[in-house]
């Protein structure tokens, strides 16, 4: 059975929604990133980058949320859209992977998690997140889905980050991007979303914010101890 290495953050939520939409059976393997479990040798053997999510599909290991979406979509032949739209599907998936996701994550980090306020960094990442929302907003004009005429892995990948719009942009600011808001409300109403949100609800993950969790989540900020982290866990 497919093993799904999970923490309730945007990138693993992409995979959670795919599994719920496709109704695929899986074994949930919680990875408490605030405790540093992503740095343990057993997990690093699956993903040398020490990030969630990852899957082990009867011996086939895939890490990176977007790679997992592609792998599962191709295996199940679901949520890939029309064949003639393959180029657009790959392009918009990478738009999320290299743009919307990272800039959203850094916007949240510098606004809420960084130990010191750096106005330049806060402005830089917030403005880039806004720019990506604007690009997406333009794309969605007159469209029900981001790519093709059906629900695809691009919608799944995008949903997981837009779901955190209040943290990324500020409370209620998604309404400034009316097409994105309309699209999000439609995706969010899909029955599989409710199922995806329930995944891992019975697991008690450590709260973030103390020094130990910061060292676990951002080990490269502690250069002197980074090389020792994995060996101690």
Half-sphere exposure in the Cβ direction for 174 (13 Å, CA): 19
Q: Looking at residue 224, what is its pLDDT?
A: 59
Condensed to tens digits (0 to 9), the pLDDT of residues 119-161 reads: 999 999 999 999 999 999 999 999 999 999 999 999 999 999 9
What whole-number distance in Å separates Cα of residue 187 and Cα of residue 51? 26
Question: Helices in 96-142 by DSSP H: which ranges?
Answer: 101-108, 119-139
Write down the architecture of domain 83-190 according to CATH. Up-down Bundle (1.20)
Which of 160-166's residues contact partners 24+ apart within 8 Å by CB, and which partners?
Answer: 160/10, 160/11, 160/13, 160/14, 160/17, 160/65, 161/10, 161/96, 161/100, 161/101, 161/104, 163/10, 163/13, 163/188, 164/10, 164/104, 164/108, 165/133
pLDDT of the residue at 208: 87
Query: How far apart are alpha carbons 112 and 56 in whole angstroms?
Result: 33
| 3-state secondary structure at position 118 | coil
Architecture (CATH level 2) of domain 2-78+194-232: 3-Layer(aba) Sandwich (3.40)
- Name the residue ranges covered by the structural domains of the chain: 2-78+194-232, 83-190
Output the pLDDT for position 222: 87
Of 16-20, 139-143, 203-207, 221-225, the least confident: 221-225
Q: How large is the average pLDDT for residues 209-228?
A: 79
Say which residue the tokens 């439609």 belong to.
186
By the 8 A CB rule, do 158 and 101 touch? Answer: no
At residue 232 the predicted structure's pLDDT band, cuts being 50, 70 and 90, is very low
What integer pLDDT is reported at residue 230 of this predicted model? 47
Distance separating alpha carbons of residues 61 and 47, to the nearest angstrom = 8
DSSP letter for each residue of 203-227: S-PPPS-SHHHHHHH-GGGSHHHHH
pTM (2 d.p.): 0.94
Residue 14 confidence (pLDDT) above 50: yes
């Amino acid at each position: 059975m497919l093993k799904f290495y999970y923490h309730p953050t945007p990138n693993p939520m992409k995979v959670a929604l795919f599994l719920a939409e496709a109704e695929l059976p899986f074994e949930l393997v919680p990875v408490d990133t605030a405790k540093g479990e992503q740095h343990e040798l057993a997990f690093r053997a699956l993903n040398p980058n020490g990030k969630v999510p990852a899957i082990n599909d009867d011996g086939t290991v895939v890490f990176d949320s977007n790679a997992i979406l592609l792998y599962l979509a191709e295996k199940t032949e679901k949520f890939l859209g029309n064949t003639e739209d393959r180029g657009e599907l790959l392009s918009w998936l990478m738009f999320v992977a290299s743009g919307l996701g990272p800039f959203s994550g850094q916007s949240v980090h510098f606004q809420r998690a960084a130990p010191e306020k750096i106005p330049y960094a806060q402005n830089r990442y917030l403005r880039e997140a806004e720019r990506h929302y604007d690009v997406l907003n333009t794309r969605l004009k007159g469209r029900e889905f981001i790519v093709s005429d059906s629900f695809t892995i691009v919608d799944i990948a995008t949903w997981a980050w837009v779901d955190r719009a209040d943290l990324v942009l500020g409370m209620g600011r998604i309404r400034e991007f009316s097409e994105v808001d309309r699209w999000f409300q439609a995706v969010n109403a899909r029955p599989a979303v409710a199922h995806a949100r329930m995944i891992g609800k019975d697991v008690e993950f450590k709260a973030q914010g103390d020094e130990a969790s910061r060292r676990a989540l951002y080990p490269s900020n502690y250069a002197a101890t980074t090389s020792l982290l994995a060996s101690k866990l």
